[in-house]
């Protein structure tokens, strides 16, 4: 089980997201008002708080949303879960659709630190069932994906 620590959105692609404290998740679309919402496999991005804290311990001055993540969750190592895993947070159901991503243009964090965790630790999901997620909500693994496949 994990605890949601931040719920972040941005109105434009290519910009850091801001922690809004809560957001509405729409089935087969993503987060209402987020630039990355749409009918594709990367509707929602997730990062583990533990991985962010490890990166901060290397001197990175980052706040929630700087990696472009929508959800920061404490207590779940998302990158260890296989594609197809389903996470439940209240009424919201998220299916992991991709682990990691190719970084075509190094972000500001990479340029500053020489590294960025999003390409290897960031997880993307589709919204299977909508609802509201807010900071402090519990998130749990409902089913583990069968494929074990990390798709880029």
Quote the DSSP letter at residue 79.
Answer: G
Q: pTM value?
A: 0.85
Q: Are 87 and 123 within 8 A, CB to CB?
A: no
CB-based contacts of 108: which residues, under 8 Å, 6+ apart? none
Residue with tokens 């087969």: 28
Residue with tokens 């994906």: 145
Q: 2-143: which CATH architecture?
A: Beta Barrel (2.40)
pLDDT per residue as tens digits for the range 4-55: 999 999 998 878 899 999 999 999 999 999 999 999 999 999 999 998 888 7
Q: Where are the domains of the chain?
A: 2-143
């Amino acid at each position: 089980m994990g605890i949601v620590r931040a719920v972040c959105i941005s109105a434009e692609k290519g910009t850091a997201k801001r922690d809004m404290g809560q957001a509405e998740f729409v089935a087969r679309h993503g987060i209402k008002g987020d630039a990355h919402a749409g009918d594709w496999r990367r509707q929602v991005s997730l990062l583990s708080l533990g991985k962010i804290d490890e990166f901060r311990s290397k001197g990175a001055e980052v706040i929630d949303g700087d990696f472009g993540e929508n959800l920061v969750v404490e207590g779940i190592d998302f990158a260890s879960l296989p594609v197809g895993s389903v996470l439940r947070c209240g009424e919201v159901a998220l299916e992991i659709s991709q682990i990691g991503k190719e970084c075509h243009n190094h972000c500001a964090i990479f340029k500053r630190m020489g590294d960025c965790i999003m390409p290897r630790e960031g997880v993307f999901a589709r919204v299977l069932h909508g609802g509201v997620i807010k900071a402090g909500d519990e998130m749990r693994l409902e089913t583990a994906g069968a494929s074990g496949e990390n798709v880029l």
